[in-house]
Structure formats: C-alpha cells, structure tokens
Amino acid sequence: MEIPRFPRNIAISNVRALIESRLKNPIVLWPEQAAALAGYMCWPNDLDARKRLANSLRSWSGGSPSVPPKLGKIQHQWLRVADAFHLHFDIKQGDHQKRRGGASLSKAITLAEANTKAWGTGTATFWATWKRYRDVAHLVTAAVLICVESRIARSQGPFDLSVNQILPIQMVMLMPELILAVGLEFERYGLSAVSHARDEPMLSLHTVWRIPQDVNVRPVPPPPRKLRPSDVAMLNARRSGNRGRANKPRPL
C-alpha cells in the first residue's frame, strides 16, 4: 500500500476531540493521504479503478461533497465487512466460545446475519462481500467504527454536517489519520487471529494491504465493546457442522 507520509508524527490521544473538531470544520486537511487510502478501500483488486477514484477524490476541498458514482453501493458492502470483522474481534476480546475453538469468521457472520434486517444480507452475501474486501477489512472496519462514533458525537452537539452526510467515505476524507491509526490495531489483530483448526489468520498474510510503517501515524486501540446477551445465547446455541437436525437412519 502506497500512502503518502504525513509531514509529522501523529499520535492521537483524544479520539472524541479529533472527531468533534473535524465535524465542526469539515475540511479535507490531508487530500493526498485521504484519496490514496479511499482508493485502496474501494477498489482493493482493481488498480485502474483505484487510480481513477483517487484522482477524482483529490478535488474534494471541503464540506461534504456529493458521493461519486458506485460509492453508495460500496459503502453498503463495507457495512457487512465491518459487521463480520468487528464481531470476530468482540468474540475474541470477550473470551467467548473458548471451549468451541474461540472466535471464527463463520461465527461472526452467523451473528451479523442474525442482527441485520436489510434485504439481501444472507450468509452467501456476507461471504461474497468478505471475499471482495478481505484485504482491506481492517481499514473498512475502522472507517465504519469512526462513522458510528461520529454520528454519536453529532447527536450530542451542533455541527455543520447532518447525520445523512456522516458516511464512511466522508470519514476517510476528513480523518484519514484516524482511520489509519485504528486500522493499524485492527490489522495487527487480523494478522494474528487464527481460528481453531485453521492454519492462516483472518487476514491473508500474502495479500492484505498493510499500512506502511513509515506513514507517521501511531496506532489507536478501538473502544471496547461487549456482545449482547442475545448474541452470546445465539453463539451457545450454534452447532458446528450440520446446523440442522441430525439425519437419523431409517429402520429397515
């Protein structure tokens, strides 16, 4: 991943203060870093599309510009990826399912599907979307998380951006350093999270887009979350292998 270095080392000590400052003054301070980052996140497997998008986004100078074509659908798909990744993280952090092999992507997708009411969000859709954005899942999850935190901040004070303008892609443009800072922690987790009975971690060691170590941003841990009691109950009721009723042999 080629992201231009920030001119100084950035250590974010107060995430909420940074979010509020950008919501109050929604100007793209780091257009080169933001455009390059968004290109990778939207088109991780298409170099030409990535370059075209990055060139288009560099013209965003401030405010909340209109979303370029196709980014609406892409952001919707990002939500599914973030659901799966963050739930995997939550299962691991909460030490759930230790007797059943710990956290796994299939368990996370089971919970994500159950918690998603939107049309067209079945298991097959989650897996297909995960495959498409797996190599930037750590960045996508960071962007969605920061979008959620920004909406919470927006609800508690007057800001220039409306709730409908606070979208993941806008957060990438307004706060690329925060996306990268949280993304570094999610990247570390994704490259170390190996599910039981699997040899490879959740993120591919060979294909993941790694955040450059010299980008001049220090990692920021994501805020802790707890699974809801209903999620824990669903995991406990979930069976590995055949999810349905076991087939019993018919009497001869």
**pLDDT attached to residue 95:** 77
Least confident of 28-32, 84-88, 224-228, 236-240: 236-240
Q: How many helices (H) does the chain have, and how many strands (E)? A: 10, 0
pLDDT score, position 246: 37
pTM recorded for the entire structure: 0.87
Residue 117: what pLDDT?
66
**Eight-class DSSP state of 58:** T
Q: Considering the chain, what percentage of its residues have pLDDT values greater than 70?
A: 86
Above pLDDT 90, what percent of the chain?
52
Q: Which pLDDT belongs to residue 196? A: 59
> 195-215 pLDDT, tens per residue?
655 668 899 999 999 999 999
**Would you place residue 134 in the very low, low, confident or very high pLDDT band (cuts 50, 70, 90)?**
very high
3-state secondary structure of 217: strand
97 touches 103 (CB < 8 A): yes
Mean pLDDT, the chain, rounded, equals: 85
C-alpha distances in Å from residue 27, one per residue of 19, 59, 124, 160: 12, 12, 39, 11
Residue 185 CB neighbour total at 10 angstroms: 16
Average pLDDT over residues 156-173: 85
Convert the pLDDT of each residue in 79-132 to its tens digit.
Answer: 999 999 999 998 888 777 777 667 888 888 888 888 876 555 678 888 999 999
Rounded alpha-carbon distances, angstroms, from residue 252 to 32, 43, 246, 249: 72, 57, 18, 9
Q: Which value, to the nearest 10 degrees, does the dihedral of the CA atoms of residues 124, 112, 101, 223 take?
A: 140
The whole-number pLDDT of residue 239 equals: 61
Q: Which band of pLDDT confidence, cut at 50, 70 and 90, is reported for residue 250?
A: very low
- If one compares 37 and 224, the residue with the highest pLDDT of the two is 37
How many Å apart are CA 218 and CA 227, to the nearest integer?
A: 28
